[in-house]
Amino acid sequence: MSDRFDCGECKESLYGRKYIQVEGVSHCIPCYDRLYANTCQECKELIAHNARELFYEDRHYHEHCFRCLRCDRSLADEPFTSQEEALLCNDCYHNEFSSKCVACDKTVMPGSKKLEYGGSAWHEDCFVCHGCEKPIGGQSFIPDKDDYYCVPCYEGRFTPRCSLCKKALATGGVSYKDETWHKECLVCNGCKSPLAGQPFTSQGDTPYCVKCFSSLYAQKCASCNSPITGFGEGKYISFQDRQWHQPCFKCSHCSVSLVGSGFFPDRDQILCGDCNNDQEDQ
């Protein structure tokens, strides 16, 4: 009589039946699946001995259950990513979690060059100057509302230019007669000293410091013979072809101020009423 050949678990004969050995013990297929088969993470059913099984991070799947959560594409032979235990194909992962280029609205793929500013992202080739339309790349740029400019284009369009050298005024500068100047460009036309921060005037469109203007163009006070510049005690009195500083406009005899009072010219002199009467009585 032949030896018995039974399943090590249910003891049913294995003659004429498929079986699987585990550590020298033979099992019928139902017992093997019940004892050793893994449970599919997705459908929660056993993965039978003859099914293709996929394994990822301590989780087991039927081949047909190993799919992208978004597009349902099989991931058995595709690159994929796990996002909070959900499986996603690379396309769906990048569409959902990668940055979108604000210029072309396409995904900025991981590993590709991108630029980020103000919470937005661009492909490197999509981040272009609004003026010359050339890629800005790693160069400096200047935002203007929703547009971006390379420095040369921005300076050419928006930055004031110095009235003298015509170069851009990046910072600072001096304003004079509705024009802008570099501080170092606004100088006296006579002595060439800088005029920024000090009183100055002009003859026509040409700027002068007080000293040069006084020496070249200012009228002389008929009393003290100093220039009448219009600066400091700049008020003056004019009579016929003569001018006086306001403090110098006083009687030639008694030195009383004649500002706001009547006076009498006497050749090169000016007299108050009293001195004029005294002179007439003599």
**Range name among 106-110, 115-119, 153-157, 231-235 with the lowest pLDDT average:** 231-235
Whether residue 214 is predicted with pLDDT greater than 50 in this model: the reply is yes
| Most confident residue range from 155-159, 201-205, 231-235 | 201-205
**pLDDT top residue among 57 and 188:** 188
Amino acid at 203: Q
Measure Cα distances from 47 to 5, 65, 193, 222, 234 in Å.
26, 11, 93, 118, 105
The 10s digit of each residue's pLDDT in 123-172 is 888 999 988 989 988 788 888 888 899 888 887 777 778 888 888 776 66
Place of tokens 């219009």: 230
* Band (1; pLDDT cuts 50, 70, 90): very low
User: For the chain, what is the mean pLDDT?
Assistant: 82
The 10s digit of each residue's pLDDT in 234-259 is 577 888 878 888 888 899 888 898 88
CA distance 263 to 127: 78
Place of tokens 């790349």: 137
Whether residue 211 is predicted with pLDDT greater than 50 in this model: the reply is yes
Torsion of CA 192, 193, 198, 204, to 10 degrees: 0
**Range name among 83-87, 108-112, 229-233 with the lowest pLDDT average:** 229-233
**How far does CA 71 lie from the centroid of its chain?**
39
Q: What is the structure's pLDDT at 129?
A: 92
Q: What is the structure's pLDDT at 234?
A: 58
Q: What is the structure's pLDDT at 232?
A: 52
**Range name among 35-39, 104-108, 125-129, 255-259 with the lowest pLDDT average:** 104-108
**Range name among 43-52, 72-81, 109-118 with the lowest pLDDT average:** 109-118
Give the helix/strand (H/E) hosting 120.
strand 120-123
* Global model pTM greater than 0.75: no
CA distance 136 to 113: 13
* Band (52; pLDDT cuts 50, 70, 90): confident
Q: What is the structure's pLDDT at 257?
A: 87
* Residues above pLDDT 70, as percent of the chain: 94
Q: Judge contact between 68 and 87, C-beta under 8 A.
A: yes
Task: Kindly state the average pLDDT of the residues 260-265.
Answer: 84
Half-sphere exposure of 277 (CA within 13 A, CB side): 4
Q: Which of 263, 221, 257, 256 is nearest to 238 (CA)?
A: 221
Q: Which of 159, 164, 195, 157 is nearest to 179 (CA)?
A: 164
